Amino acid sequence: MNSLIIVLVVIVAILFIPVIVVINKFNRMLVKIEEADSDIDVALIKRHDTLTKMLDVVKGYAKHEKDTLIEIVNVRKGMSAKEKNDAIKSLDESTEKIRLLAEAYPELRSSENYNTLQKSIADTEEHLQAARRMYNANVSAFNQYLVSFPASIIGSMKGLSKKEFLEASEEQKEDVKMDL
Amino acid sequence: MNELEEERKKYLESRKRYKKVSKIVSIVAIITLIAYLCDFPRNNEVTIIAIIVCVVSSIYIGRDHHNDKSDYEEYRKKYREVIVDGVLKEMFTDIETDYSKGIDKGTIRSTNIIHAGIGTSFSSEDYVKGKYKNVVFEVSDVHTSHSDEDGNRIIDFQGQYYIFEFNKEFKGSVRVLYNDEKKIYKKFPDYVELEDEEFNNNFTVLAKDKHLAYYILTPNFVEKIKELAYKFGGVNFLFIDNKVHIAIYNDEDLFEFNVIEKLNLEKESEKVRNNLTDIIKIIDMLDLNDKVFK
């Protein structure tokens, strides 16, 4: 009787240990994705704030221009991948509009404040790209693991599904360059 | 130039003389020693003479060796003053040199990109600091080695250790090791895998802050690192304190010279210039002068 119990315990252990290992690996991967995701939030918020400051500086020089009505999209923590993609796209457009507007004011372009903000924007863009790449690398590892056997069975039992990537345009894949 | 050539000839002549005299002294000492060993039963006079001859010979040979070394050092110093200083001034600005010293052991040891730990013999010399395209750099020759179980000397590193001002500001550190034992590091919590498979296969990236690794190692920069590493061979990098440390293992010294050959200013300057061009290549290849972020 005792030996039967031992055999049963061993069989249960043999069956459950790999399940626990897979679940732990999934949990670790999800934590990594969450960390990378919050890095993107930080970078997006920083970029939004810097861009807002930049717009204020530009407005100071171009008070009477109607083109100064540039809207900078609001960003918040915990946005979905799609919302993030849209926000990044919108911030890119705003950056380009501000840059074009500033081109008409050589004094502005040569001001120290403007140049400092330009560098800050370049830096936040670089941080954003780093966060996006790290997020995508973690998502890629997670998605690959999710479709592999036997993780796929445990994953579907846990209700896990493939994560969405953060897309990057060809320009975003290039290193940041700014005309200072 | 003539002065340097005179110095070289003087050194060669004195070395020749030292060698000749040392040979004679050694022969006399050996003959005396043989005479002493053959003299049975030994008498006091022979013993005393043998001891005196051996002691005097040892002192003379030791002094010769010392003189030879100091003459060589004198020529080496002059060579650097005449040839190297001239080339440095022509290529860079804000130059500081100390040819007798190098980048210190403490700095290099703490970076962990070359073997310089406990039990290794370490030497560093030919320190140069300067500026190119507004990028501050430091460089020196570094040699590290250790003894194996059989007492054989194993060279761990022989080449140049560079420190360049980096074009991004950051906190933390990222190590990039070329062709290192990947299996050892793969289980490390600091191990970082980038998107570039070729890069991952050839390099090991270690960083506590993984975001920082991605921030510094952009896809474009990764390409530059690959290009640099394939060009120079054994290259390791450390990004720390807004600087990049680069160790290049090439079995060469920066300002090597051949004392036997007749001095040719043009040829020697060209050789030094070629070696120093590596600094320019690194700055240009890695775009370290690109101050977009600073």
In this complex, the residue of A36, A131, A173 whose CB is nearest that of residue B219 is A173
CA–CA distance from B281 to each of A121, B132, B224, B238, B274 (Å)? 29, 11, 11, 18, 11
Q: What is the C-alpha separation between B164 and B242, in angstroms, rounded?
A: 9
Domain A2-173, architecture per CATH: Up-down Bundle (1.20)
Contacts 24+ apart (CB under 8 A), A42-45: A42/A127, A42/A131, A43/A124, A43/A127, A43/A128, A43/A130, A43/A131, A44/A75, A44/A79, A44/A84, A44/A87, A44/A88, A44/A91, A44/A128, A45/A75, A45/A76, A45/A77
- A154 in Cβ contact with A23 (< 8 Å): yes
- By CA distance, what is A126's nearest residue in B? B215
Looking only at the bridges linking them, the beta strands covering B153-165 and B243-249 are antiparallel
Mean predicted confidence (pLDDT) in A104-126: 83
> B144 with B122: CB under 8 angstroms?
yes
Size of interface A-B (CB pairs under 8 A): 46
Name the average pLDDT for chain A: 82
> Is B103 in contact with B142 (CB distance < 8 Å)?
yes
B132-147: average pLDDT: 94
Q: Nearest CA to A180 among B212, B192, B290?
A: B290
Q: Per residue in A157-173, pLDDT tens?
A: 889 999 888 876 555 55
Distance from CA of A70 to the nearest CA of B (A): 25
Return the structure tokens found at A138: 């973690």
For residue B201, give every residue at least 6 positions away whose Cβ sits within 8 Å of its Cβ, in sequence order, or none.
none
Comparing B41 with A128, the larger pLDDT belongs to A128
Q: What is the DSSP string of B224-276?
A: HHHHHHHHHSEEEEEEETTEEEEEEE-S--TT---SSSPP-HHHHHHHHHHHH
Mean pLDDT of A105-131: 84
Q: How far is B218 from chain A (nearest CA, A)?
A: 7
Residue of B195, B205, B210, B222 best to disrupt the A interface, most CBs of A under 10 A: B210
Q: Cα(B115)–Cα(B155) distance, rounded to whole angstroms?
A: 10
Are residues B214 and A133, on separate chains, in Cβ contact within 8 Å?
yes
Q: Which of A119, A136, A175 sits opposite B294 (nearest CB)?
A: A119
Residue A177 has pLDDT above 60, yes or no: no
Predicted confidence at residue B195, as pLDDT, reads 87
Instruction: State yes or no: pLDDT of B223 exceeds 50.
Output: yes
How many angstroms separate the CA atoms of A170 and B105, rounded?
A: 44
Alpha-carbon Rg for chain A, nearest whole angstrom, is 24
Report the residue of B171, B187, B199, B214 to disrupt the A interface, i.e. the one with the largest count of A CBs within 10 Å: B214
Q: Where are the domains of chain A?
A: 2-173
Residue B28 or A70, more confident: B28
Nearest of A145, A161, A160 to residue A25 by alpha carbon: A145
Two structure tokens written together for A106 = 């050589």
Q: What's the pLDDT score for residue A180?
A: 39
Looking at the complex, does the CB of residue B210 fall below 8 Å from at least one CB of chain A?
A: yes
Residue A18 region by backbone torsions, left for phi larger than 0, else alpha for psi between -120 and 50, else beta: alpha
User: Which of A39, A136, A174 shows the shortest C-beta gap to B211?
Assistant: A39
Contact list in B for residue A127 (CB cut-off 8 A) is 211, 215
Chain centroid to Cα A152, Å, comes to: 26
Which of A36, A122, A129 shows the shortest C-beta gap to B292?
A122
The answer to whether A124 contacts chain B (CB < 8 Å) is no
Q: How far apart are CA B38 and CA B28, in angstroms?
A: 15
CA distance B291 to chain A (A): 9
Tell me, what's the ipTM? 0.78
Per the DSSP assignment, residues forming a β-bridge with B237 are B176, B246
pLDDT of residue B85: 93
Residues 6+ apart with CB under 8 A from B119: B146
Residue A69, pLDDT score: 62
**Yes or no, beta carbons of A175 and B218 under 8 Å apart:** yes
- Taking the Cβ of residue B19 and every Cβ of chain A, the question of whether any pair is shorter than 8 Å is answered with no
Matching residue, tokens 């500033």: A102
Mean pLDDT of A87-103: 83
Q: How do residues A50-91 score in pLDDT, each as one tens digit?
A: 888 888 888 777 766 655 566 777 777 778 878 888 888 888
Q: What is the CA radius of gyration of chain B?
A: 26
A145 and A151 Cβ atoms separated by less than 8 Å? yes
Q: Which of A122, A134, A177 sits opposite B214 (nearest CB)?
A: A134
Residues of B in contact with A33 (CB under 8 A): none
